[in-house]
Structures are given as structure tokens and as C-alpha cells.
Amino acid sequence: MDNEEAKLTIREYIAERNTGSIALCHDGIPHIARINFVADEFDLYFVTSRRSAKFKALEVNSKVALTIDDNSIKQFIQYYGSALSVLDNKGKKHAIKLLSQIYPYIKYWVTDPDVCFIKIVPSKIRLTRGLPTKKTGGDFGDIFYLHFSSYQQQSHSGEKED
């Protein structure tokens, strides 16, 4: 799979799904939560309460990891990046427009001061496809990485990335 095919596969996969598990860390204690999200290219948007454990962790440490899957190890996506509060009006309008696809009642949340819109900006996305074979060994089949500083993709066959 080349870089363009990996990008297309990832875009299609995240466009067809809207739930994932986000991993955060606060005060040295890991936290994981399910989120509903909407994709905009490779950026993901979700909404949360300012009183939630997610938001409290993100206030201190914006670094996140996220897994998007179908409860199967045959194919899944892992995100690594930063989760940023959307504070400006233009950004909020964009987030609301996107999130209204999964939350038709979002218009009622716009004025709620407890509601916070979050944008996940990836630094790296890992696409894992297929079960291990004798050829690939390891725990999984083929693994592809998109690095967002330069959109360089590296292909691995069951190898771990440094």
C-alpha cells in the first residue's frame, strides 16, 4: 500500500465511523473514555462537558491517543496527537456544523457554558490491517503510518516503530 492508498483507506475508515476510545493521562494516572466524533479530513471533533474527567485531563495535558475500530483486530486505526479546545467563533461554528451530523440537537448546547468542543489534530496515524501471517510475524498483519509533519508514510510488516 502506498502513501496515497493509506490516506484514502484511513479517510474512508474514519468517515464511516463515529466512535472511538480516547486515552489521556492526568497526574500520572491513565484514563480512557469512549467518544462520539466526526471527521474533517484527518482532524476529529467531539464535544464534552467541562466537568468531565476528559476535559480536566486535557486542560493539563493535551496529548492523546485514540483507537477507532469495529471491536475487531482485523483492521483498526490509532491516532496520536493533541486535543485542543475550540474557542474561536469560526471554529465553534465549524465544529457545530460537523457535529450536527451525529447530534441533531446540538443547537441547544451552543450557549451552555459547560459544553466544550474539542478538535483532535493528529501527529501520527497508524493503520493496522489483517491478522499475522508467517510472512509478517508479530501480533498483526501490515501496519502503515502517516506522519503529519510531512505526510510521510512508512510501511511496516509486523514491525514496531521506534
What does the pLDDT look like over 3-43, one tens digit per residue?
889 899 999 999 999 999 999 998 889 999 999 999 999 99
| Count of the separate structural domains present in the chain | 1
* CA–CA separation, 6 and 56 (whole Å): 34
Residue 162 in domain? no
The structure's pTM equals 0.85
Residue 152 in domain? yes
Residues 6+ apart with CB under 8 A from 29: none
Q: What pLDDT, in 10s, does the model give residues 74-125?
A: 889 999 999 999 988 899 899 999 999 898 888 777 778 899 999 999 999 9
Q: What pLDDT, in 10s, does the model give residues 43-70?
A: 999 999 999 999 999 999 999 999 999 8
CATH of the domain at 126: 2.30.110.10
Alpha helices in 2-60 (DSSP H): 3-15, 53-60
SS (HEC) of 99-113: HCCCCCCHHHCCCCC
Residue 149 in domain? yes
Residue 16 in domain? yes
Residue 150 in domain? yes
Domain that holds residue 127: 3-157
* CA–CA separation, 117 and 45 (whole Å): 7
